[in-house]
Amino acid sequence: MDSIVLSCAYSAPLLLSRWSILEHAEGIVTWQLRSKTELPEDEFIRHLRIASYAIIDFYDLARDAFEAVSACAKVLLSSKADSKAAKSSLERIDRLRCERAKRAREDGEKRFWRIESSSAGRVAVAYLDLLGLLSEKLPKMDAESLRLFSDEACGLALPITAALCLPASLA
């Protein structure tokens, strides 16, 4: 998880030696492109550069996500908070997550058109979004953890980031 947060914060694609690393991070893959063919080194480098641009283009999503998460954390921290207010805050985050997933899918299909798509292949590139995971975890967090979301630095972890798996020839 630390690697994903750092990838978001530094606007750099996440490079994975194998996709199984993400198996323990359910709920964060918001879009993925599978391919039967492995990218040659020059194409991998091209798509790594393209993925870098994608992260920068998604950075504007971080502000809205931070505002929603911060507001939800405040509601959950409030001793006067009722379940209706908490539910409304969590629904706002879920709506944002759905909008972001749609944007990620549209962007990924347009941006990575050069990669031959195949539902039976291995993942060539994926977009990762921590917002869905946060919406699941926020209601279960203790007060100390919820207070962390008042710090604007948390917004650095909330854009969508890209992940690519190194081809076997480079791994």
What does pLDDT average to in each consecutive run of 10 residues of the chain (171 residues)?
A: 86 86 78 89 93 90 93 84 84 94 96 91 90 89 89 90 84 65
What are the start-end ranges of the H helices in 31-82?
A: 41-58, 61-77
Angle, nearest 10°, between helix axes 41-58 and 83-111? 140
Element of type H or E holding 85: helix 83-111
pLDDT score at 100: 95
Predicted structure pTM score = 0.89
